[in-house]
Structures are given as C-alpha cells and as structure tokens.
Amino acid sequence: MAALCYEVFRHHLTRKSARFVASVSAVRRTKPVKPSPRLKRILRATLFAGCLAVTTGAFAQEANLKIIHEKTDARLKEIAARSRGALGLLALDLTSGERFALNENLTFPQASAIKIAILMEVYKQAGEGKFKLTDTRRIEKKDKTAGSGVLQELGDGTVQLSIHDLCVLMILVSDNTATNLLLDLVGMENLNHTLEALGFKQTRVRRRMLDTVASWRGDENISTPAEAARIMELLFKGEFVSRHVCDEIIAILKKTKPTNLKSGLPADVVIANKPGSISGVATEWAIVYLKDRPYVAVVMENYGLEDDAPTAMKEISRALHEYFSRLARATPHGTYVEKPK
C-alpha cells in the first residue's frame, strides 16, 4: 500500500510539481526553470510521509473494527447457542462485502421463504413473453390449498385475479393457493433449472405447498444461508434478469408484514423480506435498507422447539442492526458525527 502510494506521488511530482515550481519562477524570470534534484527529493519525502501517515491510520482503524466485528460475531454465536435447534445464518454488508456466518452451507427446509424463488421465476418467464402479469386466473375449488392465505376462504369460481395479484398474495399473506397456482404456471422443473443456471446447487423446490406426503418422503423445498443470501444480493444489485425486474420483485417483498427479523429493527427501517415457518422450522430471507449501510440478513433453523426461533431471530436482527448502524454513523476513526448535508 505504501509502495503504491509512493509511486502515485512520484509520478505526480515529476510532472505537477515541476510545472508548479516553474510557474512560480516565471514571476521573476522570463524562462521557467526545472526544480533541482534536491527539491524533488524533499517534496517526494514530504508527500510520501503524509501518505504513509494516512495508510498507517487506516490500518490502525481496521484493527479497531476487527475488535467490534469479533464481539458481534461472538454475540451472534451466543444467541444461536441458546436456541435448542440447529441454526444457520449469513449477514452480508452490501457496502463492503463484510460477512457474519454460522453454518452457512448447511441445508435447511425453507417453508414459505422459498416463495421468493417462485416469485423470481414468475417475473423471469413474464419477461420472456410466456405470459403477461396482467393475465388472469379464476380461483376454483380444486385449486384451493390449506394453511396460510385467504383464497381458500373465497367462493368456488367467484374470484378472478391477475398473475401479479397472485404474486402479491403469495408474499404478503403467504397464500398457499396463490403459490401453488403460480408454481403450476411456471413449472417446478423450469424453476430448478433457473436456480441451477444461477449457480445455486443446494436451493431447490421439490414439492407444492402443504404436500405433506412429499415432505414425509423427503421431497423438501431447501436452501442454505449462503445461497439465500446470494439470491437477495442479486436482487439488491439488479443482477437477476434486469434492474427493472429486480425492482418489481423487491417492491412486492417490501410490502409490510410482521416477521421475526423485522421485530428486531426500529420501526422506520425498511425491509424487503419473506419469512417461513412449519413445525420445527423457521426461516427468513431479508434485505435491510439501513440508511447508508444496507445489508442482507438470512436466518434458518430446523429441529426447533417451542418459540426458540422467533426469540433467536429477533435478537440476531437486533445485534446486526446495532453493528451496521454503528458503521453507518461512524467516521473513519470511529466517532459518531452527523453527516454533512
């Protein structure tokens, strides 16, 4: 780093300082003169020392930040240890790439969090012209699925909804009827092919919602904290299909709903997320739009007991917010100063 800094200043001085000194000399001389070798050495040494001081300070602050990171990491692991289930998490700083991870490559059942992947496939195929988001589907008795949602409570054939509206219901109220209609529309095989093409080896949709026979057989909808976090990062960065498609998907994910991770955040922090829960399992994939320091937070647990997961996820969310909000407010030297407008 110091060597690089020296080279930059060396190049700068051989050109810029010569012109500066020449211009000063021109005040009293008609013909500019070049700086002497001795003057060049003095200027180089002065600027090099300044550069070295800056880089040394930066290295010192990296060491300080490492202490805070390690304390937060220990806190997250302590929270996870108190939960009696198997818990995995991945948090990703979308500004710096810094990560907190625990059991990030373990596979977990996803419950309704996998609906994010279904939503993505719907928008992908709509963009390919296979159907329009304004196309409608009539909700009939044979389509209705138990569990979460409202469509199961409505009349037989009395309701007709657009594909977009089905997407909103799938995410906002986790409607299983809407989800299965959308999954049938895009095809499970097509969805898994997309996941494979994106490089996700452990994220798969293997059954429809509430198919307990398939679940008992071992055909489960699965992912890992690492892959789920990467999916959310793709959406945040606009790297899935297009920026416009990602923005449309995120707009649906931002629709207000109470969740475990959200409960650990201040009320004014915007979050784009989808939770999921079935007996023994709790999951949540989220982008937290913390001002000046957005981050991804993914938490998954299985073999859980009672309400361990909601408590752990709330505490994890609070710990992550506390850490990243400090980074958002701090100067390079760790003081909290109001950002100039």
The domain spans of the chain are: 2-62, 83-329
68: tokens are: 């805070």
pLDDT of 156-215, one tens digit each? 989 999 999 999 999 999 999 999 999 999 999 999 999 999 999 999 999 999 888 898
CA 179 to chain centre: 23
User: How many alpha carbons lie under 13 Å from residue 96 in its C-beta half-sphere?
Assistant: 11
What pLDDT does residue 27 have?
41
DSSP 171-237: HHS--HHHHHHHHHHH-HHHHHHHHHHTT-SS-B--S-TT-HHHHHHT---EE-HHHHHHHHHHHHH
**pTM to 2 decimals?**
0.83
Q: What is the rounded CA–CA span in Å between residue 78 and residue 97?
A: 23
Residue-wise pLDDT tens digits, 229-272? 999 999 999 999 999 999 999 999 999 789 999 999 999 999 99
Instruction: Report d(CA 184, CA 51) in Å as an integer.
Output: 61
Better-scored residue on pLDDT, 261 or 5: 261
- By CB neighbour count within 10 A (0-12 exposed, 13-18 middle, 19+ buried), where does 106 fall? middle
Q: How far apart are CA 118 and CA 310, in angstroms?
A: 24
- Identify the architecture of domain 83-329 in CATH: 3-Layer(aba) Sandwich (3.40)
Say yes or no to pLDDT of 5 above 70: no
Give the C-alpha distances (Å, rounded to integers) separating 62 from 55, 57, 71, 110.
11, 9, 14, 36
Structure-token pair, residue 313: 């996820």
Q: Judge whether 286 and 295 are in contact, CB under 8 Å.
A: no
**Across 50-59, 140-149, 161-170, 250-259, least confident range:** 50-59
Residue 34: pLDDT band with limits 50, 70, 90: low
Q: 47: how many CB neighbours lie within 10 A of its CB?
A: 18
Residue holding tokens 């030297």?
Answer: 333
User: 42: alpha, beta or left, given left = phi > 0 and alpha = psi -120 to 50?
Assistant: alpha
